[in-house]
Structure 1
Amino acid sequence: MDNSFDSLLNVSAVPQDDKVQAFIAESKNNRNRCYELSEQVTAQVATDGQMLQKYLDVQSTFDRYTANNALLILAQRPDAQKLGDYGYWRSQGTYVKRVERQSPILILEPGKNYEREDGSMGTFYNAKKLYDISQTTLTDKHIEEVKHDERSVIRALVSNPPANIVAAEPDQMPDEKGAYFEPEENCIYVRKGMDAQEIFQSLVPELVFAGYAEGNPHYDRNEDAFHAYCVSYMLSKKYGMDISQFDFTHAPEFFENMEPQEVRGELSKARDAANAISRRMARVLEQDKNLNYRQQGKTEAEQKEPEAKTGEQKAQEHDRGEVR
């Protein structure tokens, strides 16, 4: 009779080779699934203005993600608020619900480079599993919006621009525009007397044009009008401006006869322009936030100082026997 316990230890074991093969197969399936989803949702975005607007909503929320991954998020969970993998959510003190573990949001991340047959270099992409905050065990799934006052937003918007910004009288503005980029002067003229909302939505597209014109001898305003419109929408949504006047009904005309890869390229161009502006704004808004924290801490310290002095005075009075 075998008294060894070794045989009991391997009852549920899976050979290592089988695990590796299963992992490889799953990774391949997930990667192919991403490619299929990307093609499908790209076709929808290119032919349906409402779908394009939903994509821009997702991209404005997840501005650090590539256009292709924003499309994948749109295809799988368009209402996502905050994404992370298993490790991220564990670090936040929460876990992905068991029932949600088989419903990940797949995105593509670049892996190793490889050489094609023609000698050019390519990149392997790997599918990564993410989960939205709504798929976790967090009891409070509300994402607190970061709000900035209008003055801070406008100050951030005009910081370090790609062209000079000059306030102009209303009668000096072409076609009564709120703002206009003049490439020959490398200057953006902004009409005086506008409120923050008007300044923001007039100035953003002109900043986009100025960014495209920088170092580009073939700059053409008409070619970039669609991208500027998309950027204006994304940043308006991101910074809490009114978006009710935006209309993407005719957007499919822009993508007409484009291949899916070309469509994603145009979306990437708008996303990159939005990020260029948003990065500049973020630096200023972060400085404002830190300054407010320091001022708030100073105010609290000043409020506590009289109380401390009163306590010190009472102690001195007690030592002199004056407190009864």
Structure 2
Amino acid sequence: MENIYAMLNKNAQRSNERKQPRLSKEEYAKQMKYKRNHLYRLAEVQSGEVVSSPQKYLQFLNLMARLDYTITNTLLIMAQNPDAKMLKDGKHWRDSGFYIKKGAKGIQILEPTGEYQREDGSYGANFNAKYLFDVSQINTKKILYNAPQMNVANMINGLTYLSPVALQQLDTFDGGEPVFYSPDAKCIYYANNLSPTQLIQGLAREYCHVEFDKQYSDYNRENNQFFIESSAYILCQKYGIPHHDIKFADQVTQYFYGMELKDIKKELGNIKSLCEDVSERIDRGIYKSQQEKIQQRNDVSR
């Protein structure tokens, strides 16, 4: 019995020696600040990386289409796992009945943890580092991620529901884009005999033009083409719409040339925001259209 207790006490001592001393409140705050600053800097540096070539830029736009995170966190994910498709923290994966592969390295992002009051009386948000894991790091043979596939009819319905601009079909179209927004006429013109894919591609792009024209006073189709094409590309990727014309990405280095990193990051956020505004319009239009159909069926059945 004595030998058993000796062994137990010896192992207990080893276990206690392995435990790291608990950090004081000040030391913990210092450690968190260091991690935050490191992540902020990583995101800023990454903003320069993603606009350094057409390939990296398109990869970043694809990531924005797949994941719904802030621009800072999307840049952090890009720096650590640019192919990420579905992210959850360890607890949420376990709660869903899945476990992380042994040795998998977490992806660090910044998570809001509350507010604080500045000396001038205004409020700011506190952030701490948080680890996420991609679906590719989960130990399972099940298919947990499927690429989006939007029904074309639903998306056209969502885009054009209570449209803020007029829509007009033209039987003859003299060159140019087969779907085209005119800011003077406040109208989207579209050619006859377009395929469903051509039509939805064009409408997605042109409603980004409409939204830009609404938000910015200096709208100019030629000058704003790169910005708007970028937003339209994200939009199409998000809903699973084929988008074969990626020539706009060739302008990326020229467009961002001379910008400071913080300004590049801000512009990337603006591009994402424009896409989100049009996306909200689509989702809202689809929902309201479906509600109207349900109401009509209920009225008929009475």
TM bracket (short chain) = 0.7 to 0.9
Distance in 1 of aligned mates of 2:24 and 2:86: 31
Residue 132 of structure 1: how far off its partner (Å): 0.6
Letter in 2 for 1:50: Q
For residue 90 of structure 2, the aligned residue among 74, 86, 93 is 86
- What is the TM-score normalised by the length of structure 1? 0.75
Paired residue for 2:109, among 107, 110, 120? Answer: 107
Distance in 1 (CA, whole Å) between partners of 2:239 and 2:118 is 43
1:196–1:26: structure 2 CA closer, same or farther, 3 Å change rule?
Answer: farther
CA shift at 1:211, angstroms? Answer: 1.0
Deviations 1:194-244 (A, max 9, x none): 112211222222211211222654433344321211122112222333333
Contact 1:39 1:260 in 2 (8 A): yes
| The 10-residue stretch of structure 1 (218-227 or 16-25) with the greater mean CA deviation from structure 2 | 16-25
Question: What is the CA–CA distance in structure 1 between the aligned matches of 2:96 and 2:288, rounded to whole Å?
Answer: 26
Any gaps of 5 or more consecutive residues in structure 2?
A: 294-302
Q: Which of 145, 148, 151 does residue 149 from structure 1 map onto?
A: 151
Counterpart residue type for residue 233 of structure 2 = Y
User: Which one has the largest radius of gyration?
Assistant: 1
Q: Is the 8 A contact 2:201 2:243 kept in 1?
A: no
Q: Does 1:33 align with 2:38?
A: yes
Change (3 A) 1:79 1:190: same
- Call closer, same or farther: CA 1:288–1:164 in 2, change over 3 Å: closer
CA distance in 2 between counterparts of 1:223 and 1:55 reads 22
Q: TM-score, normalised by structure 2?
A: 0.80
> What CA distance in whole angstroms lies between the structure 2 residues aligned with 1:222 and 1:146?
31
Matches within 5 A, 1:11-90: 12=16, 17-18=22-23, 23-24=28-29, 26-62=31-67, 64-90=68-94
Larger CA deviation: 40-49 vs 152-161: 152-161
Q: Aligned residue pairs: how many?
A: 284
Q: SS of the counterpart of 2:161?
A: coil
SS class of match (1:93): coil
How well do the aligned residues superpose, as a CA RMSD in angstroms? 3.4
Provide the C-alpha distance between the structure 2 equivalents of 1:85 and 1:22, rounded to a whole number of angstroms.
Answer: 25
Percent of pairs identical after alignment?
25
**Secondary structure in 1 aligned to 2:111?**
strand
Correspondences of 1:136-175 after superposition (within 5 Å): 136-171=138-173, 175=175
2:198 and 2:62 mapped to 1: Cα distance? Answer: 21
Is the Cα–Cα contact under 8 Å of residues 211 and 278 in structure 2 kept in the other structure? no
* SS of residue in 1 equivalent to 2:63: helix
Determine whether 1:264 maps to 2:265.
yes
Change (3 A) 1:22 1:138: farther
- Deviation of 1:154 (Å): 2.3
- Does the aligned pair in 1 maintain the 2:168–2:188 contact within 8 Å? yes
Instruction: Kindly indicate whether the alpha-carbon contact (under 8 Å) linking 1:178 and 1:203 is maintained by their aligned counterparts in 2.
Output: no
Report SS of the residue matched to 2:198. Answer: helix
Q: CA separation of 1:12/1:288 partners in 2, compared to 1, >3 Å: closer, same or farther? A: farther
Q: Distance in 1 between matches of 2:259 and 2:87?
A: 31
- Judging changes above 3 Å, is the alpha-carbon distance between structure 1 residues 213 and 170 closer, same or farther for their aligned structure 2 residues? same
* In 1: Cα distance, 2:280 partner to 2:209 partner: 17
Structure-1 residue corresponding to 2:280? 279
Once the 2 structures are TM-superposed, how far is the Cα of residue 37 of structure 1 from its aligned partner?
1.8
Deviations 1:261-294 (Å, cap 9, x if unpaired)? 11111111111111122223234556789999xx
Change (3 A) 1:252 1:15: closer
Aligned to 2:297: none
CA contact (8 A) 1:204 1:231 kept: no
Q: Which amino acid aligns with 1:54?
A: Q
Query: 1:56: Cα distance to partner?
Result: 0.3
Which residue does the alignment assign to 2:298? none
User: Which structure 1 residue ranges, 5 or more long, are not aligned?
Assistant: 293-324
Per-residue CA deviation, residues 132-175 of structure 1 (Å, 9 max, x unaligned), is 1122223314412342333233223323433222222333x6x4
Taking the aligned partners of 1:158 and 1:84, their CA distance within structure 2 comes to: 34
Report the AA paired with residue 213 of structure 1. Answer: D
